[in-house]
């Protein structure tokens, strides 16, 4: 009698233990809290950027160029250069103007002037970041494809590339290989033919600028925003060789 009840007790304990242990912990692998992908679903692209402090200079540029309506057009994908990219641009232009006048500076006031008067097509250049179609992950491929931009005559490559670089999140212990969106601005003439043997990942600096998107797939009310990395220089100024 005693033995049976002890046995029952042990059995019960084991069952409880297994039940508790088998509970799937939802946050097992995720480091942090998952973001709500729909958090921007009711905000236009322009307002999403406006509310983000790292794009406040970009907003000034968009306003000066009168670009807001193009940005908010339904069904567009925008690759957003951050404040740091604009800072790099101003530095590069300052170095250029200081070749003739060592005290000259090219700062935001000059840039805004150039934009509002579309001098040398500066305001039109913003179009290189805009593509008049939605580019979600389902459309993008590892090889990449040319997409026409809003800047006349310019088409850029957008790709969704697998990476085996450990510093970009690849871990040989995990079976799935991470993928990262890249925006590649090609130097003219466009001679590079994309194919599975020649994917966007093989593009060298001589052919084009292979720019990483650090946050991709921000779904807004009007379209998609992809954030370009901080190494990017606005309008790819001064980095052609």
223, 75 Cβ separation under 8 angstroms = yes
CB-nearer residue toward another protein: 26 or 164: 164
Is there binding between residue 231 and another protein (CB under 8 A)? yes
Is there binding between residue 164 and another protein (CB under 8 A)? yes
68, 62 Cβ separation under 8 angstroms = yes
Minimum separation from the CB atom of position 128 to another protein (A) = 15
Within 170-209, which residues bind another protein (CB under 8 A)? 201-206, 209
Judged by CB under 8 A, the residue of 128, 233, 234, 235 near another protein is 233
Burial 212-228 (b: 16+ CB within 10 A, else e): bbeebbbbbebbbbbbb
| Tokens matching residue 171 | 């871990």
- Strand-pairing partners, residue 185, are 209
CB-nearer residue toward another protein: 201 or 217: 201
Is there binding between residue 167 and another protein (CB under 8 A)? yes
| Tokens matching residue 91 | 């530095």
Residues ≥6 apart with Cβ < 8 Å to 58: 49, 80, 81, 82, 83, 86
CB-nearer residue toward another protein: 14 or 198: 198
CB-nearer residue toward another protein: 40 or 185: 185
Is there binding between residue 161 and another protein (CB under 8 A)? yes
User: What is the binding site for another protein (CB under 8 A)?
Assistant: 88, 161, 163-165, 167-168, 201-206, 209-212, 229, 231-233, 236, 239, 241
């Amino acid at each position: 009698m005693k033995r049976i009840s002890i046995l029952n007790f042990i059995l019960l304990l084991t069952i409880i233990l297994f039940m508790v242990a088998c509970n799937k912990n939802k946050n097992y692998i995720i480091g942090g809290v998952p973001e709500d992908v729909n958090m921007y679903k009711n905000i236009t692209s322009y307002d999403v950027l406006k509310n983000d402090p790292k794009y406040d200079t970009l907003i000034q540029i968009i306003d000066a160029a009168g670009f807001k309506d193009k940005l908010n057009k339904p069904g567009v994908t925008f690759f957003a250069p951050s404040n740091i990219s604009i800072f790099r641009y101003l530095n590069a232009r300052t170095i250029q103007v200081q070749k003739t006048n060592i005290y000259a500076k090219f700062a935001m006031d000059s840039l805004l002037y150039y934009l509002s008067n579309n001098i040398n097509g500066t305001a039109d250049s913003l179009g290189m970041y805009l593509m008049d179609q939605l580019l979600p992950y389902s459309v993008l491929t590892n090889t990449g494809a040319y997409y026409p931009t809003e800047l006349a005559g310019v088409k850029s490559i957008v790709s969704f590339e697998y990476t085996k670089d450990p510093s970009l999140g690849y871990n040989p212990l995990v079976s799935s290989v991470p993928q990262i969106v890249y925006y590649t601005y090609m130097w003219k003439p466009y001679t590079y033919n994309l194919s599975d043997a020649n994917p966007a990942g093989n593009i060298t600096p001589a052919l084009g600028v292979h720019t990483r998107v650090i946050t991709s797939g921000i779904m807004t009310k009007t379209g998609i925003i992809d954030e370009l990395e901080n190494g990017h220089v606005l309008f790819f100024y001064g980095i052609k060789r």
